Amino acid sequence: MTKENLPQISFFGTGLMGLPMASLISLAGYPLTAWNRTRAKAEPLLGVGARIADMPDAARSADIVITMLEDGPVVLQVITSILPLLRPGTLVIDMSSTRQSEALQIHDLLKKHHVSFLDAPVSGGVLGAEAGTLAIMAGGALSDFERAEPVLKIMGHPTRVGPAGCGQLAKLCNQLIVGGTISIVAEALLLAQAGGADPAAVRAAIRGGFAESRILEVHGQRMLDRNFVPGGQVKSQVKDMDNILAAARDAGLRLPVTSLVTDLYHHIQETFANADQAAALLALEALNPGKRLGASDDQF
């Protein structure tokens, strides 16, 4: 398929995650127009053949709109602003992390205007966005997923998990496991240190067993290095944890461990909102005065 026959992609939101995601789409040969509230954050896309436009221009030119924005209210604000400019049959793919209820609200709004919708949040952080290896959890009609799949595959590994809203639900399940596991890894490493073991050696020893995980590999090493330079930020994890509890309330569930982890991340956010999620270690150390993992200086 020639570039002229490929769908026109408009990408809204070129922050830490959105910029590399949009870059990969443009490098794959798709005609891409980008919009960002702060234009300078989108300008690197000029170097990979993309076009930067104002919001109305980006909306009018789109066959497929991709949003990667801060949260649900911002997504709703942007989509409401561009909705009168979208052609019937346009496909909107929201890859932001929002509440399931917000995704359903957006789906209903677009449906009234004959615009299709997928909620397709991602996991994998900035490194996954740069490498095109994101886990992409999509909710929506099968026909819309099949239409979007070639574009989504450029950014990672898409899976349709159910109808509209289910992508956000799957992302919340992912973030529940991520947030909880990061906290447990911090506790395990600090326990190893406080008990007299070499925490780096303990991490190496248990990596061959059932405790092995991507979290232990990546965030465990970050904690040992005391590297809190943001990949996934604490404030983003707080948003996700709050959304998890909201989804649980909607489903009539009580999640006691998730409630504890959410309280922990709210405590971290007060001081380290922009730090990496591995800063869960810092909150744990604050609860245990005089106990500290390693001797390195903290990196932010």
Residues forming the active site: 171
Q: CA of 168: how far to CAs of 23, 105, 165, 229, 251, in Å?
A: 24, 12, 6, 26, 14
How is residue 229 written in tokens? 């330079």
How far apart (Å, rounded) are the C-alpha atoms in residues 87 and 36? 21
State the CB neighbour count (10 A cutoff) for residue 97: 27
To 10 degrees, what angle do helices 100-111 and 72-82 make? 10
Helix (H, G, I), strand (E, B) or coil at 138: strand
Q: What is the per-residue DSSP string for 207-230?
A: TTSTT--HHHHHHHHHHHHTB---
Identity at 163, one-letter amino acid code: P
